[in-house]
Protein backbone atom coordinates (compact mmCIF):
# COMPACT_ATOMS: atom_id res chain seq x y z
CA UNK A 1 0.00 0.00 0.00
CA UNK A 2 1.25 3.41 -0.84
CA UNK A 3 0.81 5.69 2.13
CA UNK A 4 -1.10 6.56 5.23
CA UNK A 5 -4.17 8.72 5.71
CA UNK A 6 -2.66 11.00 8.35
CA UNK A 7 -4.96 13.86 7.36
CA UNK A 8 -8.15 11.79 7.71
CA UNK A 9 -9.72 11.42 11.18
CA UNK A 10 -11.88 8.54 12.26
CA UNK A 11 -14.07 8.65 15.37
CA UNK A 12 -14.20 5.87 17.95
CA UNK A 13 -17.78 5.07 16.85
CA UNK A 14 -16.61 4.65 13.22
CA UNK A 15 -13.61 2.63 14.38
CA UNK A 16 -15.86 0.28 16.36
CA UNK A 17 -18.29 -0.13 13.45
CA UNK A 18 -15.52 -0.87 10.94
CA UNK A 19 -14.03 -3.45 13.33
CA UNK A 20 -17.44 -5.11 13.65
CA UNK A 21 -17.84 -5.22 9.86
CA UNK A 22 -14.34 -6.63 9.34
CA UNK A 23 -14.75 -9.23 12.11
CA UNK A 24 -16.79 -11.33 9.67
CA UNK A 25 -14.22 -10.98 6.87
CA UNK A 26 -10.83 -12.58 6.11
CA UNK A 27 -7.86 -11.09 8.01
CA UNK A 28 -6.47 -9.34 4.91
CA UNK A 29 -9.73 -7.41 4.34
CA UNK A 30 -10.11 -3.66 4.69
CA UNK A 31 -12.97 -1.16 4.68
CA UNK A 32 -12.80 1.09 1.61
CA UNK A 33 -14.16 4.63 1.45
CA UNK A 34 -14.23 6.13 -2.00
CA UNK A 35 -15.67 9.06 -3.91
CA UNK A 36 -17.61 8.50 -7.12
CA UNK A 37 -19.39 10.74 -9.56
CA UNK A 38 -23.13 10.83 -8.97
CA UNK A 39 -25.74 11.84 -6.46
CA UNK A 40 -27.71 15.05 -6.61
CA UNK A 41 -24.68 17.25 -5.85
CA UNK A 42 -22.11 15.73 -8.22
CA UNK A 43 -20.10 13.34 -6.04
CA UNK A 44 -21.09 10.64 -3.58
CA UNK A 45 -19.31 8.50 -1.02
CA UNK A 46 -18.98 4.77 -1.61
CA UNK A 47 -18.32 2.22 1.13
CA UNK A 48 -17.25 -1.37 0.61
CA UNK A 49 -15.18 -4.19 2.04
CA UNK A 50 -12.25 -5.34 -0.09
CA UNK A 51 -10.62 -8.73 0.34
CA UNK A 52 -7.18 -7.30 -0.23
CA UNK A 53 -6.23 -3.63 -0.60
CA UNK A 54 -4.50 -2.53 -3.81
CA UNK A 55 -0.81 -1.61 -3.75
CA UNK A 56 -1.71 1.99 -4.58
CA UNK A 57 -4.23 2.35 -1.71
CA UNK A 58 -3.64 4.76 1.15
CA UNK A 59 -4.39 3.30 4.54
CA UNK A 60 -5.29 4.09 8.12
CA UNK A 61 -5.32 1.50 10.85
CA UNK A 62 -6.78 2.44 14.22
CA UNK A 63 -7.42 -0.03 17.03
CA UNK A 64 -7.82 -2.89 14.55
CA UNK A 65 -10.04 -0.99 12.11
CA UNK A 66 -8.37 -1.02 8.70
CA UNK A 67 -9.49 1.76 6.34
CA UNK A 68 -8.27 2.25 2.76
CA UNK A 69 -8.78 5.01 0.17
CA UNK A 70 -7.78 4.85 -3.50
CA UNK A 71 -5.56 7.46 -5.18
CA UNK A 72 -8.43 9.09 -7.06
CA UNK A 73 -10.61 9.56 -3.95
CA UNK A 74 -7.83 10.73 -1.63
CA UNK A 75 -7.79 14.44 -2.65
CA UNK A 76 -11.54 14.63 -1.95
CA UNK A 77 -11.10 13.17 1.55
CA UNK A 78 -8.02 14.96 2.89
CA UNK A 79 -8.88 16.60 6.19
CA UNK A 80 -12.19 14.72 6.46
CA UNK A 81 -13.61 13.41 9.74
CA UNK A 82 -15.38 10.07 9.49
CA UNK A 83 -18.00 9.17 12.08
CA UNK A 84 -20.66 6.50 12.53
CA UNK A 85 -24.05 7.62 13.80
CA UNK A 86 -26.89 5.51 15.17
CA UNK A 87 -29.91 7.77 15.71
CA UNK A 88 -33.65 7.98 14.96
CA UNK A 89 -32.86 8.43 11.26
CA UNK A 90 -30.95 5.13 11.20
CA UNK A 91 -27.34 3.99 11.15
CA UNK A 92 -24.81 5.47 8.77
CA UNK A 93 -21.28 6.62 8.27
CA UNK A 94 -21.12 10.42 8.20
CA UNK A 95 -18.27 12.36 6.70
CA UNK A 96 -17.48 15.93 7.68
CA UNK A 97 -15.56 17.03 4.63
CA UNK A 98 -13.75 20.40 4.49
CA UNK A 99 -13.31 19.94 0.72
CA UNK A 100 -17.06 19.94 0.06
CA UNK A 101 -18.42 23.31 -1.03
CA UNK A 102 -22.00 22.09 -0.54
CA UNK A 103 -23.93 18.90 0.08
CA UNK A 104 -27.40 17.61 -0.60
CA UNK A 105 -30.09 17.64 2.06
CA UNK A 106 -29.64 13.96 2.91
CA UNK A 107 -25.84 14.30 3.25
CA UNK A 108 -25.09 11.48 0.80
CA UNK A 109 -23.62 13.59 -2.00
CA UNK A 110 -21.52 16.74 -2.21
CA UNK A 111 -19.91 19.20 -4.62
CA UNK A 112 -16.45 20.76 -4.61
Q: How far is 6 from 20, CA to CA, in rounded Å?
A: 22
Q: How far is CA 107 from CA 17, 56, 73, 93, 101, in A?
A: 19, 28, 18, 10, 12
Give the pLDDT score at 23.
95
The yes-or-no verdict on residue 96 having pLDDT over 90 is no
| Global pTM value | 0.83
> pLDDT (tens digit, 9 = 90+) per residue, 17-73?
999 999 999 999 999 999 888 766 678 889 999 999 988 899 888 888 999 999 999
- For 8-12, 75-79, 82-86, 89-93, which range has the lowest pLDDT when averaged over its residues? 89-93
Choice between 109 and 51, residue whose per-residue pLDDT is larger? 51
pLDDT-derived band at 1, boundaries 50, 70, 90:
very low
3-state SS, residue 66:
strand
**Maximum Cα–Cα distance across the chain:** 39
Amino acid sequence: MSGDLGEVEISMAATDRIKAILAEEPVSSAFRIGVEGGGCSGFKYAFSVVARPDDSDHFLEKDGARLVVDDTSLPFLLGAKIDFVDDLMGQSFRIENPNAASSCGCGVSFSV
